[in-house]
Amino acid sequence: MKISALLSLAFACTVSASTYGQNYKLSMNKQDCSISEVLKEIEKNSEYTFFLNDNQVNVNRKTSVKANNASLEEVLEQALKNTGYQYEIVDRQIIIKSKSVSSVSHPNALFQSSPRKITGQVKDALGEPIIGANVVVKGTTNGTITDIDGNFSLEVPDNAILVVSYIGYTDRTVEVGNSSKVMVSLSEDTQKLDEVVVVGYGTQKKVNLTGAISSLDAETLENRPITNSTQALQGTQGVYVNQAGAQPGADGATIRIRGQGTLNDNNPLILVDGIEFPLEAVNPNDIESISVLKDAASSAIYGSRAANGVVLVKTKGGKKGKFTVDYNNYFGVQQATYLPNFVYDPVVFMEMRNQAQRNEGKLTVDYSDALIEEYKQGMLTDPIMYPQNNWLDIMYNNAFIMEHNMRFSGGDDKYTYSVSLGYGDQNGVLRGTDSNKYTLAVNTTAQVNSRLKIGANINAHYQIYNEPVAGVANLVEMTYKAQAFHPTYTADGRYADTFIRTPGHNIYRHPLALADEGENKHKSLRMLANLSAEYKLPFDIVYNLNVGLNKYDYLQSRFAPDVYEYQLKTNEEKRVVYDGQNTRHAYKGDKNDLAVTVFNTLSWGKKFNDAHDVKVLAGYSFESDDKTEFSAKVEGFLGNELHELNAGSSNPSVAGTSSRSVLMSYFGRVNYGYKDRYLFEGNFRYDGSSRFAKGNRWGIFPSFSAGWRLSEEEFMKDIPWIYNLKLRASWGQLGNERIDLFRYVDLMNLKVIKNDGSITDYNYPLNGAMQSGAAITAYNDPNITWETTTMTNVGIDASLLNGNLDFSFEFFDKRTSDILRKVTLPDQVGGLDGPIRNIGEVSNKGFELNMGYRNNIGDFRYEVNGNMTFIKNKIVSLKGQTIIDGMFILEEGKPIDSYYMLHAIGIFQSEEEIKNSPYQTAATKPGYLKFEDTNGDGKITEDDRQIRGGVIPKITYGFNINLGYKDWDLGAFFQGVTDVYTYGDRIGATPLWFGCGLPEQWLTDAWTPERGTSATLPILTTYEGCLNENFRTNDFWLRNASYLRLKNLQLSYNVPASFLKSGVVKRLKVFVNAQNLFTFSPMKDFDPEKNLKGSNWYAYPSVRTYTAGVNVTF
């Protein structure tokens, strides 16, 4: 250690000095040594820096120390005994001084003198000037930044120490001494180049990847109030995440990776610590990193389950270090992002419904003038009998949400541990909905000896959520159908019924009774247990064994009580109907699932001659999945108090199923790299699945990829602004076996229950008596086999300007063949369902672009990241079939689930225009929608339908803006989609839908003779009264559901360590957060982030969330 005016060996302190000093233990036995040697030993084994003035302290003086697991203070007391020196701990430094010197506020106070001006220059290792480098006098706020030539000037005290830093480079500490000019050279920080990401059955350096992988870490998720981990992937490159609603306990999002590749299950494979496990069952606070494998090169090692992409989740584990407690929480409020804007003036509603019927040509209307006048007067004198209720305000409210998480972690060279507990409480914005969840995560490792390492992980997720007896969709529908004249309660607190007829209501069900009465409770327990062992064999071979258990238990308990509402004028009693039944009934549904996964791997790696890097992995896995379901229902309860099944006495019914599936696999991977410059990888997987018949169960799925890091070439070394540059390409095949079990055998039934409730059995007479029989109701094909997805990927990755600017671009071609789809049989066969066969082929072609820039100006930090994905989806082949399913069509050459409907080209303005246009119906009137005669036959029929958009977005994108100043941070995350459509033809989209409300826009925008061509809506009619005209399936009701949404906005403050001198709290961060703060979209009727295929809009709404919370480390 060099001693001059200042003795300094800098370490980055990450904890407060007082706490660390109390916990730090040191063993040392040094006799007749110098003080310098003792200080060196302490610096070497701790996180402290020593400061002293050599005019005051002679570090060559002899001393002795003998300590066994002693505290830092005890060691220093021995080292300085009888020397005339003392020590003082200030923040993260230890000051050695003469006992004659009083306490100092900062180490620099030891060297106070008149400031003087120095100049200098900062360059990189190649001698190029670095622009914008920070130059600061250590321990002070006195600093500057370098100019365009890397030069700086600064006033400093004598013997000052400069700290020079720049993003992408390692910080440099420089002693000024008596110099007037300082030359500084910074070296590249290799930490970024050494960044590791999780891949299939292992990890790899990110710079050496040859496949397409997107990743995010725990910092990205920190403090976001996401109630379901599936939401965490929003904004990830190449991933489309659609959260269609925010019902507590049932708010999981749909995930699509690089488009929709099949006509069947498009969900990706999700692995948590290597074992298949639902992402929604993982506490976001327990996630350390997520890797999304998007191409064949990265996914092929998972074979038949990877065709839709793979999501790898790594949970947080313990780390070597002292015992640490981390606690975080947030409290907040949620509100619906969008609710319909209905007319809730009862008089206006009745008048407008009457007008709608007159517009249809009806001579009689629902509400007489006398009734309307009665109601006008009644509102003034009797608000119970004549209410003016806004049912959206009654049924939707701001809702409380909170979450608490606590983690205990630590470890040493032999053992690491992490134990995490979580609790969440969420009330629903819709009355009658709520959720409570409890999570546990345990992660331990033990280094048994130099060869054997073992580990155990447990993730448990227990949740209880409640919803209305008849379900959320039913309650929302009844809420939308409740008009302003529908009362809430009678004067004595009973449920009230209106005396006014409600047209279109076959059965009116009181929303408050639906929400508040009865029980519909869902309980679920998901648990993942994973045991692992790693053993180092001779010749650098490593054996890994993993055994995982994925257990799922689910119970639904539902009870529909007898509840009555009372007509306000007559006191007539009417039962509130649940589930379409007019009697009390109870239901229990139970599901159990046990999946066992065992996989073994042998891996070997070696680097030869510091140039040839070879890695090999081979493995075998076995997976089984056993499912059981049981349900029971009974009626005949004597009262509403007892809900158990044995309290019922009539019409019992039971049902149950069980199944088992097995997947066996052999897999392997070979990696070769030459001087980290030329990279090659090959993967294969050989899968056997019980979902197919013998002879078709096994499939092999290979992939190959290569990369060229141009930045490592000699001819690129002289280009200083290129930090990393890589070209990569891959090709491979993946499988999809996600179909129902036993689709390779014909389906036989003892009886069939039809949609209308009628039962067809197959009993037959024999010997004068009816015998039980069975019949084939669906043919199947024993020759079905895997769907196969072939992927080609070409990409470029670049990191420029000393790593400040990151850029990546890649093109992909994803083609799925042998898609399993039901074949339609001719009527002559007898109406049997057709078999599933390998008949389809779908293509997804597109590109991904990602760019990010980060830098700082003094204490101000900024970072901008953005990505976008473009996908063109197309059905290549259906073997000549065209499949029409309601308003959707599957047709060769078109995207999956394209809308197929009439094209509205305007609104009829006159009878003359109707006469001179293709015939629609005899009821067509001015103000009705006008449709295009596509085939030119002079009439509008179903044959005039055409493709009008689809539900698969062509572009998904997201970007982050992060700003920081000293201890303050502000981050914003935006996410969006374009060129995607949804259809609305029911509640909230169209007027007066079978008794529903009237959206306010129909008061001002509907066609009238006076408005004429300025009208943006057709003439006001009831839905049922104009079903075959305006409300035929047509694109007038198609909405552009593109949007850009501010998904998250967060402001946080890290309390400086100088304020945390108690020694108990090591880190304290406070934050406020807003989720789904605002949305830009051409769709104004409803929240655009919805179930795009659903035409009814009575679903649970999305929510806007405001939270505040703290993160504390003890």
pLDDT of res. 590: 96
Q: Are 627 and 640 in contact (CB under 8 A)?
A: no
**1040 Cβ contact list (under 8 Å, min separation 6):** 980, 981, 1081, 1082, 1083
Q: Are 732 and 295 in contact (CB under 8 A)?
A: yes
Strand partners, 400: 333
**Exposed, middle or buried by CB within 10 Å (0-12, 13-18, 19+), for 168?**
buried
Q: Which two tokens stand for residue 351?
A: 């008048």
Sign (positive or negative) of CA dihedral 927, 928, 929, 930:
negative
Amino acid identity for residue 761 in this structure: D
Q: Are 418 and 408 in contact (CB under 8 A)?
A: yes
pLDDT of res. 768: 77
The overall pTM is greater than 0.85: no
What gap in Å lies between CA 944 and CA 920, rounded to an integer? 11
Does the domain at residues 17-110 carry the CATH identifier 3.55.50.30? Answer: yes
Please tell me the total number of residues recorded for the chain in this structure: 1114
Query: How many CB atoms sit inside 10 A of residue 106's CB?
Result: 14
- Stretch 1036-1053: mean pLDDT, rounded? 94
What gap in Å lies between CA 444 and CA 533, rounded to an integer? 12
| Helix ranges (DSSP H) in 315-402 | 346-359, 369-381, 391-395
What gap in Å lies between CA 584 and CA 220, rounded to an integer? 49
Q: Are 334 and 1105 in contact (CB under 8 A)?
A: yes
Q: Are 800 and 808 in contact (CB under 8 A)?
A: no
What gap in Å lies between CA 942 and CA 949, rounded to an integer? 18
pLDDT for residue 14 is more than 70: no
Instruction: Label the pairing between strands 698-709 and 722-736.
Output: antiparallel
Q: Are 1054 and 11 in contact (CB under 8 A)?
A: no
Q: Are 320 and 411 in contact (CB under 8 A)?
A: yes
**Exposed, middle or buried by CB within 10 Å (0-12, 13-18, 19+), for 404?**
middle
**Residue that the structure tokens 């997520």 belong to:** 290
Over residues 714-734, the pLDDT tens digits come to 888 788 888 889 999 999 998
Strand partners, 503: none
What gap in Å lies between CA 137 and CA 150, rounded to an integer? 17
Phi, psi dihedral angles at 523 (to 5 degrees): -120, 130
What gap in Å lies between CA 1092 and CA 737, rounded to an integer? 26
The more confidently predicted of residues 226 and 86 is 86
3-state DSSP assignment of residue 378: helix
Where residue 832 falls among pLDDT bands split at 50, 70, 90?
Answer: low
Query: How many CB atoms sit inside 10 A of residue 96's CB?
Result: 23
Extended strands (E) in 302-433: 310-315, 321-336, 399-411, 415-427
Least confident range of 214-228, 778-792, 1044-1058: 214-228
pLDDT for residue 905 is more than 90: yes
3-state class percentages of the chain: helix first, strand second, coil last, to nearest 5: 15, 50, 40
Please give the CATH architecture assigned to the domain spanning 116-185: Sandwich (2.60)
The more confidently predicted of residues 195 and 210 is 210
H-helix or E-strand spanning residue 466: strand 452-466
pLDDT for residue 9 is more than 70: no
Terminal CA-to-CA distance of the chain, rounded, Å?
34
What gap in Å lies between CA 634 and CA 622, rounded to an integer? 41
What gap in Å lies between CA 765 and CA 726, rounded to an integer? 76
Q: Which two tokens stand for residue 346?
A: 């009862």
Q: Are 1100 and 247 in contact (CB under 8 A)?
A: yes
Where residue 8 falls among pLDDT bands split at 50, 70, 90?
Answer: very low
Q: Are 520 and 447 in contact (CB under 8 A)?
A: no
Q: Which of 85, 100, 15, 16 is nearest to 51 (CA)?
A: 85
Q: What is the DSSP string of 187-238?
A: -B-TTTTT-EEEETTEEEEGGG--S-EEEEEHHHHTT---SSGGGGGTT-TT
Where residue 419 falls among pLDDT bands split at 50, 70, 90?
Answer: very high
**1080 Cβ contact list (under 8 Å, min separation 6):** 1043, 1044, 1045
Q: What is the DSSP string of 909-965?
A: --HHHHHTS-B--TT--TTSEEE--TT-SSB--GGG-EEEEESS-SEEEEEEEEEEE
Sign (positive or negative) of CA dihedral 172, 173, 174, 176:
positive
What gap in Å lies between CA 875 and CA 495, rounded to an integer? 54
pLDDT of res. 848: 95
Query: How many CB atoms sit inside 10 A of residue 651's CB?
Result: 12
pLDDT of res. 4: 32
pLDDT for residue 680 is more than 90: yes
Q: Which two tokens stand for residue 828?
A: 């002559």
pLDDT above 90 covers a percentage of the chain that reads 50
pLDDT of res. 17: 39
The more confidently predicted of residues 761 and 458 is 458
Q: Which residues of 888-919 are buried (b: 16+ CB within 10 A; e: fewer)?
A: bbbbeebbbbbbbbbbbeebbbeeeebeebbe
- Stretch 688-708: mean pLDDT, rounded? 91
pLDDT for residue 69 is more than 80: no
Q: Are 789 and 733 in contact (CB under 8 A)?
A: yes
Over residues 532-541, the pLDDT tens digits come to 999 999 999 9
The more confidently predicted of residues 965 and 138 is 965
Amino acid identity for residue 320 in this structure: K
pLDDT of res. 12: 30
Where residue 583 falls among pLDDT bands split at 50, 70, 90?
Answer: confident
- Stretch 83-95: mean pLDDT, rounded? 75
- Stretch 737-741: mean pLDDT, rounded? 78
Amino acid identity for residue 417 in this structure: Y
Mean pLDDT of the chain: 86
Over residues 148-187, the pLDDT tens digits come to 788 999 888 877 888 888 766 777 888 887 788 888 888 7
pLDDT for residue 701 is more than 80: yes
H-helix or E-strand spanning residue 912: helix 911-915
- Stretch 1044-1067: mean pLDDT, rounded? 86
How do the domains of the chain map onto residue ranges? 17-110, 116-185
pLDDT of res. 759: 66
pLDDT of res. 92: 58
Where residue 20 falls among pLDDT bands split at 50, 70, 90?
Answer: very low
Q: Which of 807, 957, 1045, 1081 is nearest to 235 (CA)?
A: 957
